[in-house]
């Protein structure tokens, strides 16, 4: 009898874990309301340093979960994001990620720079982020449609070590300033991410 009770307990725990992992779209829509204050405004800028607030609508759910958990733990730093994430439970994060991932993709953004050379310069990026910036591996972020100056800043931060990530720092360390702008321009011009939209 104790074995049966233990088995039932384990099965219930697994069922609960699966429900948690799935997330809830409607709950996420409510919980993501504060996210819209920055990520739902078209062309909204971070104050200092100045760059466009990233588009997160249509981002991979698994990546969003990883990113929010990193902000919550302080492993990834941005004062406002750390404050927003610190009060989120694992369930909140799952729900928000489900809602954001379901957002409709846009038609790409205006970009400057030599976007035509982007595909050839981004060959290494494509292994994780996809040929046009839509990753087939959900733990990695989609880059398509992201703001060019956000992508540029991220690559500069990876290159100079101010945003620690061993893999990305290794790749970005091989890029010139021109390479960074061309890659960022290429991904920015692809159909992909959007600002949060009420669906």
Question: pLDDT tens, 15-53?
Answer: 444 444 589 999 999 999 999 999 999 989 998 889 999
Res 8 pLDDT > 70: no
β partners of residue 57? 194
Nearest to 100 by CA among 156, 158, 31: 31
Tokens 């010139």, located at residue:
176
- Asked if 176 and 88 count as a contact pair (C-beta separation under 8 A), the reply is no
Quickly count: other Cβ atoms within 10 Å of residue 180's Cβ: 21
66-109: pLDDT as tens digits: 999 999 999 999 999 999 999 999 999 999 999 999 998 665 66
Cα separations in angstroms, 144 against 93, 134, 147: 23, 6, 9
The whole-model pTM stands at 0.85
Domains parsed from the chain with CATH numbers: 23-188 (1.10.760.10)
Examine the pLDDT at 186 and tell me if it is beyond 80: yes
């Amino acid at each position: 009898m104790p074995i049966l009770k233990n088995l039932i307990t384990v099965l219930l725990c697994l069922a609960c874990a699966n429900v948690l992992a799935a997330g809830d779209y409607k709950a996420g829509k409510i919980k993501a309301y504060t996210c819209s204050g920055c990520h739902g405004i078209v062309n909204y800028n971070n104050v200092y340093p100045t760059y466009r607030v990233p588009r997160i609508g249509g981002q991979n759910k698994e990546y969003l979960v990883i990113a929010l958990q990193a902000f919550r733990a302080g492993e990834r730093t941005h004062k406002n994001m750390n404050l927003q994430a610190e009060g989120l439970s694992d369930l909140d994060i799952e729900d928000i990620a489900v809602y954001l991932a379901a957002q409709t993709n846009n038609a790409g953004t205006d970009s400057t720079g030599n976007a035509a050379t982007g595909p050839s310069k981004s060959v290494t990026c494509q292994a994780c982020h996809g040929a046009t910036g839509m990753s087939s591996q959900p733990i990695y972020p989609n880059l398509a449609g992201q703001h060019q100056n956000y992508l540029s800043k991220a690559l500069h931060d990876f290159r100079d070590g101010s945003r620690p990530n061993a893999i990305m720092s290794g790749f970005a360390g091989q890029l010139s300033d021109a390479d960074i702008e061309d890659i960022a321009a290429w991904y920015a011009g692809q159909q992909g991410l959007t600002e949060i939209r009420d669906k």
